[in-house]
Structure formats: C-alpha cells, structure tokens
Amino acid sequence: MKNNTVVIAADAKYFWGVFIAIASMRKNGMDEPVLVYQCGFTDEMKRNLGRFGDVEIVTAPKSDRSFATRKAEAMLVPTSEYVTWVDADGFFLGNCSELLPPESPEDIHIRVREDAEFSSYLVASGDSRKRGEYARIWARDVGVPEDAMPRIRNGVSSCFLSVHRSQRPFLEWWDRQMLAVLVDRSLKRGPYYLLDEPVLSSLLMYLPNAPLPKEFRLDKVLNRRFRHMVGVPKPWVCWSAETWRFHSEVMEIISWSRGQGFIDLRLPFCLNPDHGRFHRSTLFLAYAIRLKMRLRKIWARSVS
C-alpha cells in the first residue's frame, strides 16, 4: 500500500532488527515505503537496507533521548496518508499490507492489553501500586479530573501502531507528553511511566480527542501476523527462552535475504543459518546477560 509509510527507528545496535523487519516485509510481498529514522548506521548498513527498494534512511537529530521515546517524532516525518510504526525488534509473517492501517481515520490500529496482562505489565514496570493509583496519575498528567472515566479499559502495546495523517496533532501531543513526563526531571513521575508505552496509554485513555483503538487484526490469522521479539537480549546478540520460538521464522528471513543478494555484511553468529544447529546452545548466555544487567542496576542504586 503506497499510501502507507512504515517507520522504524533505531541506533546501530538495532541494525539487524531493522534489517529483519524490512526483509520480512519484502519477502512477503509488502511493498510499503519504509522510513528508517536512525543514528550511527554505517554506509554499509545503509547500502544493505537500500537494496530492499523504497527505503528512505533519515538521520535523526542528536539527542540524549532513547529511540523508544522518539516514536512520535519519527512518525511525524512522513507525509503519506497513513503512517505505521514498527518496533525494531519485530517482523511480519505473511503479507499484512491490507491489515496495517486503521479501518477509519478516526481510529488507531493498536493492540489493547488484556486485563491480566495489563495488571502484570504495571507490576513488571517496577512498582506494586494498584491500577487505580496509576489511573489517577495518568488522568492528572493528561489534564482531566483524577476520577475521569477512561475511554479504554487497559493500556496498549506500542510495538505496532498505525494512524491516518489527520491524527498528526495527536502524535504531536504524544511527543510533547513524553518530553514532559519522561525527559523533564521536574515532572518525571517515577514508576508511573516506563518509556513510551504508558505515556501513549494515558493519552488514549484520557485525552478526549484521541483516536480510539478498535479490533487488533494482526494476531487473528495464523499466517498473517506481526511478531514481537520482546525482552533482552535480542536474537542478534543471543537467543533466549522467549525469542527461541521465532528462530525458524527468522532463519527463513535471513536465508531468503542472502539468496536474494541483500546481505554483504558479516552476519552475527546467532543470525547465521550456517551455525543454526549451534544456536540453541547460546540460550544460557541470555541468563548471564540479564544477571549482569541486574547487578549493574543494583550497583547504580547503591552508589547513587
């Protein structure tokens, strides 16, 4: 669908995630133009992505902000009728082109979390406060009464979303809100926001003119889905118990890309199909990496 631009943003550490996402599109016949909002990509990385065709690579302005908090900023760059965001650790199974945009310009195509999932997500964000306390803080920061009724029951998953260009004011609001509650230390709300997703959820819940989520369509048909490789480490670093279920699909994408001549960079060990029989043996590394990250956080708190 040429009237829909797919946007992906990342630094060089996520290059292979960007590559897998775009390769999955082209492998499955999805011809949408892709805008890569990036920093730190080498000329070789850009050349490899450019081989997929209709890929625009834009250098993002320098910023201390994580790309996870710059989604709206990146989505405001295209001028197409629709704009679709895809996280740099996701890929498509099958041709999903007609399923990407919202069914109406007034809507947003995004997945709303189930009750149990949303409650678990809030706890996993590092705090055990009840949903009601989050709701009051989110409503207050959006600018409505703390006891306002939410427009949707639960928060959303922001790894994929798609909107019509008429929703640009909403994207601008989302970007400003992330600057306010995530970047401006005087307004930061501690555990009530974890990067971009709770900010977006708060706006969809309480902003009166925000687009409304309807049915999420990318998890309904077995062979036409969006896959999200959630968690750390990512497969291009090493495989984990969570991402291993995507191994065969990712290997198919990489093998197809090599066969089409889209890759002249050296593949990471864990993405190289030639070493596929050894990939499972790297799963233990994920636990070591996570332990190291946890120890770093504990050390940082102890010296702060």
Confidence category of residue 192, pLDDT binned at 50, 70, 90: confident
Q: For 85-96, what is each residue's pLDDT tens digit?
A: 999 999 999 999
On the question of pLDDT at 186 being above 50, the answer is: no
pLDDT band at 222 (very low <50, low <70, confident <90, very high): confident
Measured distance CA(216)–CA(227) in Å, rounded: 13
Q: What are the pLDDT digits (tens) for 100-130?
A: 999 999 999 999 998 777 777 666 555 555 7
- Give residue limits of the domains in the chain: 4-213, 230-247+261-303
Summarize the confidence of residues 252-269 as an average pLDDT. Answer: 96
- Mean pLDDT, to the nearest integer, of 225-249? 94
pLDDT at 134: 81
Mean pLDDT of the chain: 90
pLDDT value at 284 more than 70: yes
Which CATH class name applies to 4-213?
Answer: alpha beta
